[in-house]
Amino acid sequence: MVQLTKLVKTSGCAAKLPVGKLEEVLSSIKMERKENLLVGFETSDDALVYDLEDGRVLIETVDFFPPVADDPYTFGAISAANSISDIYAMGGEPSVAMNITLFPSCMDLGILKNIILGARDKAMEAGVVIAGGHTISDESIKFGLAVTGFAQKDRFWRNCGAHDGDVLVLTKKIGVGIINMASKADECSSSSKVEALSSMLTLNKRARDIAIKYDVHAATDITGFSLLGHIYEMASSSSLSFDLDFSSVPYIKEAIDAARLGFIPSGAYSNREYLEDKVENRSGLKREEEDILFDPQTSGGLALAMNEEDALSFIAEFGSPARIIGTFSRRRDKTIYF
Ligand code: CO
Ligand code: CO
């Protein structure tokens, strides 16, 4: 049997172009404004938001990446969960999707079929129908979805808008990128491997469905830019700083050992490089603990900024592994302290 992750250098969201490089290109291009486009290019949000002028907004996003699991069906399902997540990160309800597929023409078509079946079933779980797509013959496999969702115009979330004093709730464990690296090299226990896979396979649907009952001030999902990267976006776009409490961050325990052994995705290095002067380690965290904070996640959890009372009610209802991981506060020299 072909093990899909053995065919690629980087898996999942860890394959993203380093954010600094992307920024270099995008900052030199001026995008036009468009009427009704409420969230566009400027704020590095999870999706675009378009005003439908009937009290609703349309939300649209696209994600695709190389295999993050060896089994084609599982890879398709994870990729779908990851793509759909950006709609949940905006507080929206996903509806329809198109697939984006790159597949080697010489490879067994049964693999492609199982990738699409995995995506179809995960999409169905989210109430999403895959209604079309585009397939290109290429040297290596890549798969993902462009997803369309909807929300009430006065109810959708952006990554900015956190208040001074808000806490941040994280709904999934981190360390998935490091575990994926270790498991690619067969240097990871099967229990951690299963833990990472089941976390990536979990839709953020339940987190979103519970969170919309509360007053969420800002939200995003944790993906390739790492926990610190996505918190940095939230805090800086809200003109605030953030105090992270590492001891409250939920992570897969074995990721610490794997990081110490050097199983660190290249994306973690570019995240670290980009964020280095924006964060400060004041609590003496070890290198491998920092590595987990810079680790690119695939299909990671939601990060929700709320007041503490709402956060505690949310966590009581959502359950494990959701935790309060820190607090937003007035802007200081660095954006994140931990
Ligand atoms: Co996102
Ligand atoms: Co995305």
Pull the structure tokens for residue 206.
Answer: 């339940």
Q: How confident is the model at residue 9 (pLDDT cuts 50, 70, 90)?
A: confident
pLDDT for the residue numbered 275:
96
Mind listing the pLDDT tens digit for each residue in 219-236?
999 999 999 999 999 999
Mind listing the pLDDT tens digit for each residue in 59-85?
999 999 999 999 999 999 999 999 999
Rounded to whole angstroms, how far apart are CA atoms 292 and 35?
41
* Closest to 67 in 3D by CA, of 125, 130, 6: 6
Rounded to whole angstroms, how far apart are CA atoms 333 and 338?
13
Whole-structure pTM value = 0.95
How many angstroms separate the alpha carbon of residue 86 from the centre of ligand 1? 5
How many angstroms separate the alpha carbon of residue 280 from the centre of ligand 2? 27
pLDDT for the residue numbered 2:
80
Rounded to whole angstroms, how far apart are CA atoms 185 and 170?
29
How many angstroms separate the alpha carbon of residue 88 from the centre of ligand 1? 9
Mind listing the pLDDT tens digit for each residue in 138-171?
999 999 999 999 999 999 999 999 999 999 999 9
> Which residues keep their CB under 5 angstroms from ion ligand 1?
46, 86, 221
How many angstroms separate the alpha carbon of residue 89 from the centre of ligand 2? 10
What's the Cα-to-Cα distance from 202 to each of 42, 116, 178, 186, 273, rounded to whole Å?
29, 17, 18, 23, 30
How many angstroms separate the alpha carbon of residue 85 from the centre of ligand 2? 8
Mind listing the pLDDT tens digit for each residue in 90-120?
999 999 999 999 999 999 999 999 999 999 9
β-bridge partners, 327? 167, 243
- Concerning whether 188 is annotated as a catalytic residue, the answer is no
pLDDT for the residue numbered 326:
98
Mean pLDDT for the chain overall: 95
pLDDT for the residue numbered 50:
96
pLDDT for the residue numbered 27:
83
pLDDT for the residue numbered 190:
95
- Ligand lying nearest the CA atom of residue 221: 1
Look at strands 48-51 and 302-306 and give their pairing: unpaired
Whether residue 248 contacts residue 338, with contact meaning beta carbons closer than 8 Å, is answered with no
Task: List binding-site positions for Mg(2+).
Answer: 46, 86, 221
pLDDT for the residue numbered 72:
97
CB count within 10 Å of CB 62 equals 15
Give the distance, in angstroms, between the CA of residue 84 and the centroid of all CA atoms in the same chain.
10
Q: What is the mean pLDDT of residues 240-269?
A: 97
Give me the percent of the chain exceeding a pLDDT of 90. 87
Whether residue 292 contacts residue 259, with contact meaning beta carbons closer than 8 Å, is answered with yes
> Which residues keep their CB under 5 angstroms from ion ligand 2?
63, 86
Asked if omega into 18 is within 30° of 0 (cis), the reply is: no
Whether residue 292 contacts residue 251, with contact meaning beta carbons closer than 8 Å, is answered with yes
Residue 254 has pLDDT above 80, yes or no: yes
Q: How confident is the model at residue 15 (pLDDT cuts 50, 70, 90)?
A: confident
